[in-house]
Structure 1
Amino acid sequence: MCSVLIYKRRPTKLAAEHSARQTACPRKATRLQAVADRLTAEASLEATIHTNQIIRDGDFESSLVAEQASKRDPEQPSLASVLDAFNPATTTVDVCVVGCGPAGLALAAELGANGVSVALIGHDVPFVNNYGVWKDEFKDLGLEGTLDREWEDAMCYFGEGREVRVGRGYGRVCRRRLRDLLLQRCKHNGVRFRAGELTRIGEADSGAEFVTLTLADRTTVRTRLVTLAAGAAAGKFLQYEETAPTVAAQTAYGIEVEVEGYEDAYDPSSMLFMDFRRHHSGTWQGAAHRLVPGEHPVAGEGLWGTQREVPSFLYAMPVAPGRVFLEETCLVAKPALPFATLKRRLLRRLHAMGVTRIIEEEWSYIPVGGPLPLGSQTATAFGAAANLVHPATGYSIARSMREAPGLARDVAAVLRRRLPVRATAAAVWDSLWPAEKRRQAAFHVFGMELLAKMDLSATNAFFSTFFRLPDFYWRGFLASSLTSAQLIAFALLTFVLAPTRIQLALMRHLITDPAGSYLIRHYLGIALLSLTNSDFLCNTSVL
């Protein structure tokens, strides 16, 4: 009887233990799964950060990007010959501006004008890129004297026989005049210069009043604020929001040429802003200007086989009789459209126009879109380094020139408060990227992601609609001057005027694409909740 009783009790105990294990195992499995999910998410985030920076650095075109940046111009004086030298061993400054391009020089000059002591650090190199701008924008900035060529109008083609006159003057910036003007402003306002390459930004604790920078030659620099203005490559020193679409790229292959017959194909008194016609496909020599709408050699409008083709367009500035700057441009793509493809298309276009001699080549690579910088970090930035490049157009120089004075005044005001480094940087970021501007940027990124998914036919339809909008809206969109509310009105007008297929594409993009949710989060303010609570690690790679 006793054995029977024991026999009956043992299974009961085993069953209880088994039940406990069964209860515990799901909890343990859940915890393990949560840990695995977190590690996977962190690995995915790190991979995204790494990928974004690779794209900012030029990705597979980095060698040609470096070649373009290394060009020389003996007509442009060295920075060291114009500006007084900065000796970091004996001097501490209010602001170190790292980068000597248009954005860096403009901000340094404006900071100096506001009584801030400024050290300009970077490579002593000339301006080498061609800059095209809207005349009215540069006139408003008092920079019309830097233009070396002007056109009273700009024209576009969105298919054979579909010419659009923009009705807005355009100009080419003389890079020598612009650099000389900015250099003289820097000199007048006491900006000092030291050639060097930034390799590390030191950590600053909550109460630190200075941050220490380390240069490639191991020189250290103490400053109250560091502002990176060395282009998108400076992103390796910055921390970004986590939930944005990845960075895309605008690429362009340009040449200055002596050309015969340009005036037969285009009006030489106007600037050619966009020509999406497929003269690079199926068009024989000299026949570009004789094509009849609907009779392109490649299936009517020339759209045969373009459903999977990344669109590109011809951009042209006639600079003198028989001499033209021509550029084959891909507005935005993921991944970037290779320079080799753009060069092939441009040379085929020129074959259809009749080019005699190529004078100079140019490779333009502009990272666009992607995440915005966080406001809770030691370093600040300006220009392309701060994502001031318009994601849907690639424009940046006019915006940097326009925003430099206001930002400099805000920086000067913040420095007078004698705040710690991180608090100073946070106030500067809030001036540069307040919530309203972050909403605007999210809208622009949404538009960029939409353009990156369009084929040539849809692209032509979209831009035909775009330039039918009232001037206030399309000009404001290109200039990044529309408020977030005005951008909604812009979107509604575009939707009303667009053909049905573009309307459907817009709705589908808003509902199903990550850029749609990114836009909605910023407009609702949700994304801003994490802007000061990120776990990003400070990257100290070589710039």
Structure 2
Amino acid sequence: MVTDDLLICGAGPAGRALAHRALAHGLSVTIVDPHPRRRWTATYAAWADELPQWVAPEAMGATVDHPIVWARHRIELDRRYIVFDTARLQDSLDLPDARLLQDSVTDIAPAARHRHDGLDLPSVRLASGSVLAAGRVIDARGVARSPRLAEQTAFGVIVDRARLPEPETYFMDWRADNGAETDAPRSFLYAVPLDDERVLLEETCLAGLPALDQRTLHDRLTHRLRSRGITLTGTEPVERVRFPVHGGRPNARTFGSAGAFTHPATGYSVATSLRMADAVVAGDPLWPGPARAVHLLRQAGLRALLALPPADLPLFFEAFFALPAESQRAYLSGRDDLRGTAAAMLSLFAALPWRIQRTLAIAVARPPRRTPDASRATPLSAEGPV
């Protein structure tokens, strides 16, 4: 039986990026997905310094040299930010020689040590009844939603740039002009250019257990924009976001958010998938000791974030983005930078008032919840990073 070098479960950004790089290195590839040719509709973004050199320039829809954070005060970030052109990103990850199968994976079997007729190979069982083996099987199907997992939700509209009274790009805008009660769960405005003519305006619940629903976010966005002189017509293109910000299994057989690549403080995973694809193809270890330790620290950070009273979130992010740029970068992007991540978290803790320190310390000391196994996940839609 002829088998491929690599079989990838899932054709979202993570799976497609991995397949694209495997083909570039001469491997034979099969991708299994219920809709392997479906066009992506979500907006993806990244810090420019996270991206590998092979990413096509045309995949970058907009570049922002100094995005803005509004917490209690205006903070200008000294780090270039990239918003992808989603369609061009997908097209740039071309798969000319891959075999694309429209099917669902129901089970993944690891390789056995030996059989009576020789070494066994990992395999997948498909909903159609077929069983496929390959030299390696990688699960890139994302993480299934679960009541036990914190989620990020957002509701956004796309408008012409000419309609905005101010041209600034907001990575996070926590100003209290969205009509929410003071003690209600907080959300922020994410306002980024998609290209020279269009801007995405998105009311975002960074992480919630449970997260804010779409109706609440819609009403808050409408209120916020109206207070800034922007009235929606109801005809604007809409983007809805909902996905887990943690979960997945950090091991050699999973990739993307299924492989715990999602940063729980931002929800970002696409840049990490792009950056780590070549390492997977080469068979390099993705989870050395420092990377696993950083992963645990980030999970502790998420527990701390979820424990904060809503009114304290702007103060928390004011303190974080007042840290030196290298400390911010270590925590947001240094997936194996244990020293930098720990130092950033300690510096942030020291900068916060005692009452917040106490809340964070209790939350961090709490044992983490057991997260669902990504191998039993149903594929995410294009609304979440995979």
Normalising by structure 1, report the TM-score.
Answer: 0.62
Determine the C-alpha separation between the residues in 2 that align with 1:374 and 1:148. Answer: 31
Q: CA distance change for structure 1 residues 143 and 103 in 2, over 3 Å: closer, same or farther?
A: same
> How far apart, in 2, do the equivalents of 1:538 and 1:165 lie?
37
- The corresponding residue for 2:104 is 197
Which of the residues 349, 355, 379 maps onto 2:231? 355
Structure 2 residue 136 is the aligned partner of structure 1 residue 215? no
In structure 2, the residue matched to 1:369 is: 246
1:306 matches 2:306: no
The answer as to whether partners of 1:440 and 1:483 remain within 8 angstroms in 2 is yes
3-state SS in 2 of match to 1:281: coil
Structure 1 counterpart of 2:367, one-letter code: P
- Deviation, 1:482, is 5.5
Shift of 1:271: 1.4
Which residue of 2 is the match for residue 389 of structure 1?
262
Q: Which residue of structure 1 aligns with residue 383 of structure 2?
A: none
What residue is the counterpart of 1:503 in the other structure?
357
The answer to whether 1:172 aligns with 2:83 is yes
| Aligned with residue 277 of structure 2, among 404, 424, 446 | 404
Distance 2:17 2:39 in 1: 15
Aligned to 1:514: 367
Aligned to 2:225, what secondary structure does the other structure show? helix
CA-CA distance at 1:313 after TM superposition: 0.2
The answer to whether the aligner puts 1:127 opposite 2:40 as a matched pair is yes
| TM superposition shift of 1:152 | 2.1
Between the aligned partners of 2:332 and 2:378, the Cα distance in structure 1 is 33
CA distance in 1, matches of 2:46, 2:306: 23
Matches within 5 A, 1:80-479: 91-122=2-33, 123=35, 124-138=37-51, 140=53, 142-159=55-72, 162-183=73-94, 186-187=95-96, 190-202=97-109, 204-207=111-114, 208-233=119-144, 246-258=148-160, 262-263=164-165, 266=166, 268=167, 270-281=168-179, 305-307=181-183, 309-319=184-194, 323-352=198-227, 353-357=229-233, 358-370=235-247, 373=249, 375=251, 380-410=253-283, 431-479=285-333
Measured in 2, the distance between the counterparts of 1:495 and 1:440 equals 17
Q: Are the structure 2 counterparts of residues 324 and 542 from structure 1 closer, same or farther at C-alpha, using a change threshold of 3 Å? A: closer
Classify 1:356/1:259 alpha carbon distance in 2 versus 1 (closer, same or farther; 3 Å): farther
Aligned to 2:384: none
Contact 1:199 1:542 in 2 (8 A): no
Secondary structure of 1:148's aligned partner: strand
Distance apart, 1:115 and its partner CA: 3.6
2:189 alignment partner AA: L
- Whole-angstrom distance in 1 between the partners of 2:286 and 2:61: 31
Cα offsets for 1:353-374 (capped at 9, x unmatched): 322434211111121224x527
Which string of whole-angstrom CA distances, capped at 9 and with x for unpartnered residues, describes residues 139-190 of structure 1? 755444311222221111113xx2111122222101122112111xx32xx4
Contact persistence 2:143–2:374 (CA under 8 A): no
TM-score (norm 2): 0.86
CA distance in 1 between partners of 2:325 and 2:302 (Å): 20
Distance 2:340 2:313 in 1: 23
Does the CA-based 8 Å contact 2:152-2:243 persist in structure 1? yes
Bigger shift: residues 117-126 or 313-322: 313-322
* Residues 97 and 482 (structure 1), Cα distance of their counterparts in 2 relative to 1, 3 Å cut: closer
Kept after mapping to 1: 8 A contact 2:178/2:220: yes
In structure 2, give the amino acid aligned to 1:253. F
After TM superposition, give the deviation of residue 493 of structure 1 in Å: 1.4
- Offset from partner CA, 1:17-73 (integer Å, 9 cap, x none): xxxxxxxxxxxxxxxxxxxxxxxxxxxxxxxxxxxxxxxxxxxxxxxxxxxxxxxxx
**Greater alpha carbon shift after TM alignment, 359-368 vs 479-488:** 479-488
Structure 1 vs Structure 2: percent identity of aligned residues?
31
In structure 2, distance between residues paired with 1:182 and 1:320: 20
How far did residue 469 of structure 1 move? 0.9
Q: Give the secondary structure class of the aligned counterpart of 2:240.
A: strand
- Once residues 373 and 257 of structure 2 are traced to their aligned partners in structure 1, the CA distance between those partners, rounded to angstroms, is 22
Match of 1:191, as an amino acid?
A: A
User: Which residue identity is paired with 2:350?
Assistant: V
Alignment root-mean-square deviation, CA: 3.0
Aligned partner letter, 2:107:
R
CA distance in 1, matches of 2:376, 2:344: 41
* Equivalent pairs, count: 370
CA distance in 2, matches of 1:102, 1:368: 16
Q: Distance in 2 between matches of 1:121 and 1:92?
A: 14
Point out the structure with the larger helix share.
1
8 Å Cα contact 1:200-1:542 kept in structure 2: no
After superposition, the C-alpha distances for 1:49-102 in whole angstroms (9 at most, x for unaligned) are xxxxxxxxxxxxxxxxxxxxxxxxxxxxxxxxxxxxxxxxx6321221111112
- CA 1:537/1:128 → structure 2, altered by over 3 Å: closer, same or farther? closer
Measure the CA separation in 1 of the matches of 2:375 and 2:45.
Answer: 34
Task: Kindly indicate whether the alpha-carbon contact (under 8 Å) linking 2:291 and 2:336 is maintained by their aligned counterparts in 1.
Answer: no
**Partner AA of 1:325 in structure 2:** L
Residue 229 of structure 1: CA displacement?
1.2
User: Distance between the aligned counterparts of 1:351 and 1:506, measured in 2?
Assistant: 35
Does structure 1 residue 493 correspond to structure 2 residue 369? no
Contact 1:111–1:118, Cα closer than 8 Å, also in 2: yes
Q: Give the deviation of 1:442 after TM superposition.
A: 0.7
CA 1:409–1:318: 2 relative to 1, 3 Å: closer
Q: Which whole-Å CA distance do the structure 2 matches of 1:493 and 1:212 have between them?
A: 46
Aligned-partner SS, 1:395 = coil
Give the number of the structure with larger relative contact order, counting CA–CA contacts within 8 Å between residues 6 or more apart: 2
Are residues 322 and 198 of structure 1, via their aligned partners in 2, closer, same or farther at CA, if it must alter by over 3 Å?
Answer: closer
Q: Aligned partners of 2:346, 2:317: CA distance in 1, in Å?
A: 15
Larger radius of gyration: 1
**C-alpha contact 2:13 2:90 (8 A) present in aligned 1:** yes
Measure the CA separation in 2 of the matches of 1:510 and 1:202. Answer: 35
